[in-house]
Amino acid sequence: MEIIHISAECYPYAKAGGLGDVVGALPKYQNKIGHIAKVVVPMYRTKFLYENEFEVVGKGGFGMAHYWLNYTVIKESTNKLGFDLYLIDINNLLDREKIYGYDDDIERFTAFQIAVVDWINKWEDLPDIIHVHDHQAALIPFMMQNCSSYRRLSVIPTVLTIHNAQYQGWMDWNKSSYLPDWDKWKWGLLEWDKTINSLACGVRCVSKVTTVSPGYLNELKYNANGLEMLFEYEKGKCVGILNGIDEEVWNPATDTYIATQYSVEDSDVGKAANKKILCDQLGLNEKKSLIIFIGRLVGEKAADLLPQAIADSIYHINGEMNFLILGSGDPHVEYQLEQMNGKFMGYYNSQIGYNEGLAHQMYAGADFLLMPSRVEPCGLNQMYAMRYGTIPIVRRTGGLNDTVKDIGEQDGYGICFNQATVGDITNSVYRAVQLFKNKKKVDDIRKTIMQIDFSWENSAGQYLGIYQTI
Ligand code: ADP
C-alpha cells in the first residue's frame, strides 16, 4: 500500500511538539512492515534542511485569490529517515525560520495544501491512501473531492489524524476565494459556527478520523473547543489509536544526547549519573528528588499553575525536592518561571526555550515528570519519561489516563490526580516525595516502567487495519 502523510511537522526535520514526533515515526514503522509511506511537509529553514542533501522532484503553480504562486517540491536524497521526505517550497511564504506563529499562517498553510494537491494530481499512479494530520492539512480531502481541477483525486480514501483539536484552522469566509475553484453548493462542508473551520471540514470529508488516544476520542464528545456536536455526530467514523514512541530515537541504552547511557539492568547507576550532571550544571541538589516539566507553556498544559504549585510545594514540603522546567510559550508564564530562578535558587531552575538535547538529558536524569495538563490528546512526554525510568505524575485526562496507572492501584506505577489545580499538584508532589524515600519501591517501579511496551509496531498495525477498511 502506498500512503502519503501530509503534515506541518516531521521529526527530525521540523518539530514543535508531538505532531512532529508522530509523523517522523509512524511512516518509518509502516515502511518496516512492508508498505510505502511517504511524508510531505512545508519547506522551512531548519537546521536539517541545510545539513542534508535534497533534489528537485516537482514544480508547479496555482492561483490563490489575486496571486499566482509557484512551488517547488524537493526530496531528501538519502532516505536516511526510513521514509521519503518531500518538502514544498513556496517562496516568501513557507521558507521561514519558525513553523508557526506568523500573521499569515492561514495563507501559508492554505497555499501548502493547494500545492500538495496540485502536485499529487500530476502523478501518473495515484497513492492508495492520503493521510492528513491536524488542521494544517485538513482542507486537502475537501479540495480532492470538490475542486474542479482536482476531482481525479476524489477516488483516493482519506484519513485525518487529530493530534490536537484545540486548534482548528479558522478562516474568515472572505478568504474562501483562496480555495481553488470549488463547488459552491458544498459550502456547508466548510462551515462551522459562521466561519470556515478546516478541522471540522476535514472530519466531515475524510473516510476515517483517528485521534491519538482512545481516551481523547471520548473526551472530544464533551470537550472539543466547540466541535463537540460534530464528534458526537461523526462518531461512527472515528477511532482512537494510542501513539507509540520511536524506539530508535527514545532509548536510554543508545541515546547520544544523554551523558550516560543505561538500560533496565543498570538503571539505578545510569540515572544517578545523569541526575548528577543535570544537578551540577543547573545548581540543584542531587540528593533530593528531581521533578521535571517539559513542554509548551500554555493553558492546555496547565503551565500557568506551575509557579504557584512549585512555590507552595517548596514551602509546604520543606524544600524536600528540586524542580526543573524546560519550555516556552505564554510570555507571562515564561516571565514568572524565570523570576523564580533567583527566589528559589538551589531548589528550582527553569530553562526557557526549546532544547531537544536538554529534554533527553532531563528524561534520563529526573526522578519524576509532572504533567498537570488540562487537555492531553495523547502525551508523549509521559511515555518517554517511563522509557527512561522516570515516574510520571499526571492529571487523569486523555492519553495520560490511558497510559498511567496510580501506585494506589494494583500494579500501579505512577501518581495520578483528578483536577488541574494548585492543590492537586502540590498534593501529588507530596506523594512523590514520600515515594522517593522508599528506594526499593522506586527502583522496582523504574524497572517496570522502562519495560512497558509503547512501541509503534502495535499502533502502526492498527492504522493499516483502518486503511484496509476504507
Ligand atoms: P504537544 O504535542 O501537545 O506539545 P506531546 O507530549 O505530544 O505534547 O509532545 C511534546 C514533544 O515535544 C515531546 O517530544 C517533548 O519532549 C517535546 N518538547 C516540548 N517542549 C520542548 C522544549 N521546550 N524543548 C525540547 N523538547 C520539547
Q: Which atom of ligand 1 is nearest to the CA of 22?
A: 7
Please compute the mean of the pLDDT values over residues 243-269 and round it to a whole number.
96
Tell me the per-residue pLDDT of 382-421, one tens digit each, with 9 for 90 and over.
999 999 999 999 999 999 999 999 999 999 999 999 999 9
Q: Which atom of ligand 1 is nearest to the CA of 382?
A: 6
- pLDDT confidence tier of residue 79, bands split at 50, 70 and 90: confident
Tell me the per-residue pLDDT of 415-428, one tens digit each, with 9 for 90 and over.
999 999 999 999 99
The rounded Å distance from CA 62 to ligand 1 centre is 35
Q: Which atom of ligand 1 is nearest to the CA of 379?
A: 6
Say yes or no: CB of residue 354 within 6 Å of ligand 1.
yes
Q: Residue 378 is which amino acid? A: C
**188: which 3 cell numbers?**
456547508
- Pocket residue to mutate for ligand 1, from 296, 363, 395, most atoms within 8 A of Cβ: 296
Q: Atom 12 (ligand 1): residue with closest C-alpha?
A: 17
Phi, psi of 469, deg, nearest 5:
-70, -20
Tell me the per-residue pLDDT of 46-73, one tens digit each, with 9 for 90 and over.
999 999 999 999 999 999 998 999 999 9
Computed over every residue of the chain, the mean pLDDT equals 97
Say yes or no: CB of residue 180 within 6 Å of ligand 1.
no
pLDDT attached to residue 256:
97
| pLDDT over 90 (residue 183) | yes
Q: Atom 19 (ligand 1): residue with closest C-alpha?
A: 295
What are the residues whose beta carbons fall under 8 Å from the beta carbon of 222, sequence distance 6 or more? 228
Say yes or no: CB of residue 380 within 6 Å of ligand 1.
yes
Q: Atom 7 (ligand 1): residue with closest C-alpha?
A: 18
Tell me the per-residue pLDDT of 96-146, one tens digit each, with 9 for 90 and over.
999 999 999 999 999 999 999 999 999 999 999 999 999 999 999 999 999
The rounded Å distance from CA 168 to ligand 1 centre is 20
The rounded Å distance from CA 370 to ligand 1 centre is 13
The whole-angstrom separation of Cα 385 and Cα 163 is: 20
190: left (phi over 0), alpha (psi -120 to 50) or beta: alpha
The rounded Å distance from CA 25 to ligand 1 centre is 15
The rounded Å distance from CA 186 to ligand 1 centre is 37
Please compute the mean of the pLDDT values over residues 78-95 and round it to a whole number.
95
What are the residues whose beta carbons fall under 8 Å from the beta carbon of 76, sequence distance 6 or more? 13, 52, 53, 54, 84, 85, 87
Sign of the alpha-carbon torsion through 103, 47, 42, 7? negative
